[in-house]
Amino acid sequence: MGTAPLGIVMNGVTGRMGYRQHLLRSILAIREQGGVLLSTGERVQVRPLLVGRRAAALQEIAERHGIEDWTTDLDAALADDRWQVYADFQVTSARVAAIRRAIAAGKDVYTEKPTAETHAEAVELAELAAAAGVRNGVVHDKLFLPGLLKLKRLLDSGFFGQVLSVRGEFGYWVFEGGWQPAQRPSWNYRAEDGGGIVVDMFPHWNYVLEDLFGRVESVYAKATTHITSRVDERGEPYAATADDAAYGIFELEGGVVAQINSSWAVRVDRGELVEFQVDGTHGSAVAGLFGCRIQPRNATPKPVWNPDVPDSRDYRAGWLEVPDNDPVENGFKVQWEQFVRHVVEDAPHPYDFASGARGVRLAEAGLESSRTGRRVSIQDSDAEVATR
């Protein structure tokens, strides 16, 4: 501990997440504010080392942001004691091999989700990290969305009474890439390159459901590829082999039923790109990325089904907006601050590789359910990590 800067190897900083969320909005913002505040009142500064495959791209980013250190040699970075943390924002398919090397080099590891493409590999990473005694963490950014923070506040205040059900709608139209460029990288639509909406989004749904409503006990899902051919970044057509929509039902401990549709082939007729409706005995809420509306039971209208008479009631008008109350920081930065405190002063960090493995387990179970047409029960992968 102390005031020496914490060296962080950042692999994949030329990518969407690595550059914008992890480098710009998190590590450089933390550097700008003078470091991470510790419980002692001291601050620990961060020092990034950019790692990637293309020297010119790394040099350009380093110069643009006044970063001293960059390299294309990951092994040399991992062998260097000046860097204590390894952070991974590469494409998912490149992650496991790099994290294995980082753990073997004794680095603490922080990573984007999913931690691996298969549950077996995700569990293996958790076991390797535990055996090596390195600290480990995985992104859980959706919990920091202002709308979900409001939802958490409603839950903590007992607003819902007994929560009965959750209905989530996530998605938007991702252009095919032909007559308009696609707005997401093409690897997301190729199963062979680690793509697919289930492996992308179910790890998020796992920690969101777990944190707010209870652990997932079973899943039934139908995953499908609605758009089977797309055009990549170079204008080349390719077969879209990965699922681009998944319709899931999740049973949670305590009896809550959650239903979440995830789709990149849907047009948005909602207030936000993701929305969760939560219905409880005492009230309901609809939370999005930013907003959250509520309807308590004593302001609930009493509709009567009558197909003969047009309904003049404005149901949407009967909801109340939850105020912002407190300023909200970028979730990726808050997560980085938590992880740095975990590394430097052993502060708690429940979103570890075991948590990441549960997310991958849910994705795998979702795909299994889709393949077999059966509901799949979820075993506790923490227990698997502990008992192997």
Ligand X SMILES: NC(=O)c1ccc[n+]([C@@H]2O[C@H](COP(=O)([O-])OP(=O)(O)OC[C@H]3O[C@@H](n4cnc5c(N)ncnc54)[C@H](O)[C@@H]3O)[C@@H](O)[C@H]2O)c1
Binding residues for ligand X (CB under 6 A): 12, 14-18, 52, 89-92, 94, 112-113, 139, 141, 185, 200
Please say which residue, 138 or 163, places its beta carbon nearer to ligand X.
138
Local structure of 41: helix, strand or coil:
coil
Quick one: tokens of 68?
């001293």
* Number of residues written out for the chain: 388
CB nearer ligand X, residue 83 or residue 202? 202
Q: Which is nearer to ligand X, 12 or 168 (CB)?
A: 12
Beta-strand ranges (E) seen in the chain are 6-11, 36-37, 43-44, 46-51, 69-71, 85-88, 108-111, 136-138, 163-171, 216-224, 229-231, 237-239, 245-252, 257-263, 274-280, 283-288, 292-296, 320-321, 376-377
The CB-of-364 to ligand X minimum distance in angstroms stands at: 15
Q: How far is the CB of 141 from ligand X (least distance, A)?
A: 5
Q: What is the smallest separation between the CB atom of 139 and ligand X, expressed in angstroms?
A: 5
Specify the DSSP element, H or E, that contains 209.
helix 197-212
Does residue 51 contact residue 69 with C-beta atoms inside 8 Å?
A: no
Residue 47 or 113: the one with the smaller Cβ distance to ligand X is 113
Choice between 12 and 248, CB closer to ligand X: 12
- Residue whose CB is nearest to ligand X in the complex, by number: 15
Cβ count near 242 (within 10 Å):
22
Closest CB 52 distance from ligand X, rounded Å: 6
Region of 141 (left: φ > 0; alpha: ψ -120 to 50; beta: rest) is alpha
Closest approach of ligand X to the CB of residue 228, in Å? 21
Q: Shortest gap between Cβ of 3 and ligand X (angstroms)?
A: 31
Is the Cβ–Cβ distance between 11 and 111 less than 8 Å?
no
CA-based nearest residue to 300, from 312, 285, 321 = 285
Q: How far is CA 204 from the centre of its chain?
A: 4
Identify which of residues 98 and 365 has a Cβ nearer to ligand X in the complex.
98
Q: Residue 194 or 283: which CB sits closer to ligand X?
A: 194
CA distances from 195 to 163, 242, 279 (A): 33, 6, 33
Taking the complex as a whole, the smallest distance from the CB of residue 91 to ligand X amounts, in Å, to: 4
